[in-house]
Amino acid sequence: MSNKKIVVTGGAGFIGSNLCEALLDLNHSVVCLDNFSTGKVDNIRRLFDNKHFKLIVGDIRNLNDCRKAVDGVDYVLHEAALGSVPRSINDPVTSNEVNISGFLNMLVAARDAKVKRFVYAASSSTYGDSAALPKIEDNIGKPLSPYAVTKYVNELYADVFAKTYNMECIGLRYFNVFGQRQDPDGAYAAVIPLFVKKLIRHESPVINGDGEYSRDFTYIKNVVQLNLLALETQNPEAVNQVYNTAFGERTTLNQLVEYLKEYLSEYDPKISEVDILHGPNRIGDIPHSLASIEKAQKLLHYCPQYSMKQGLKEAVGWYYETLCHCGLDPQSPNRY
């Protein structure tokens, strides 16, 4: 597949900007729709000179913005959302407006524009209170947070639109994605960039609980790969499905911190001496997460290229170089 016109909602965000870049490298035309509530101009600044890239500053909560973005396009990669379990607990109304109403607007706009396929970011939070490991797509529990509710509703809406309007929809349940351009700032920063920032400044990261909660940390390049496979597949059995998007390997938070200290110590040996603190468990967190990727392997020929440790080592290098790019003291609170 080449020379297609593709919308990436949330294209200035962490995952969205990586997708925009990958699509342009494959000679597609890209329309980025973003309201910059969490996305950053710096994530896509390098793309502005590409004649095949178009930025629309708009909000998925506005149906007209959605219609403008999908006008004349072939495919949609829907990444725009308000992530974070704690954010949704603190403000469930806004999470609902963005993640459900905004999602519905994009589905309606895509349907009316006769978009060929709608690929959307789902979430491993949909597995909720299910204790089964590994997580298999057809076996989910009850949601544990407003965020999880919104992402499950997305899957229900996509299924209804596929059956009712004959749309092609594919959902990708992301498992703890990490990598370059993941923001270490803000109250709702993901655990890996937050810990990296702390360690580089010789500050003690705080692990929620005893550190034995585990996650299937998934490197961004694996996520990009599966998005491209979902766009390109010609297998009719692969369409109108939901897939785990992961590497299929479980890492505890204690292990994660040790890996981070090891890899960052190659740049600054003092990091190996930083102490680790423990705090209370977070409300809405699931204890363990591990994906089965057999369905994606079978139907989409998914073959993730980066293990958690391989991706982490590459990501740590990116973070350290980014932090020190301006020649500032890595421990300076004014860097970010």
Please list the active-site residues: 147
Gyration radius of the chain's alpha carbons: 19
Helix, strand, coil shares of the chain, percent, nearest 5, are 45, 15, 40
Separation of alpha carbons 172 and 155, rounded Å = 10
Residue pair 96/61 in contact (Cβ under 8 Å)? The answer is no
Find the Cα–Cα–Cα–Cα dihedral 319, 321, 325, 331, rounded to 10°: 60
Find the Cα–Cα–Cα–Cα dihedral 37, 38, 41, 47, rounded to 10°: -120
Q: H helices of the chain, where? A: 14-25, 41-44, 63-70, 85-90, 92-96, 102-112, 146-165, 191-200, 220-232, 253-264, 294-300, 308-323
Tokens for 199? 């360690």
Residue pair 195/277 in contact (Cβ under 8 Å)? The answer is no
Measured at the alpha carbon of residue 299, what is the angle toward residues 131 and 309, in degrees to the nearest 5?
Answer: 60
Separation of alpha carbons 161 and 185, rounded Å = 36
Q: Which among 131, 122, 128, 123 has a CA at the least distance from the CA of 142?
A: 128
Amino acid at 87: R
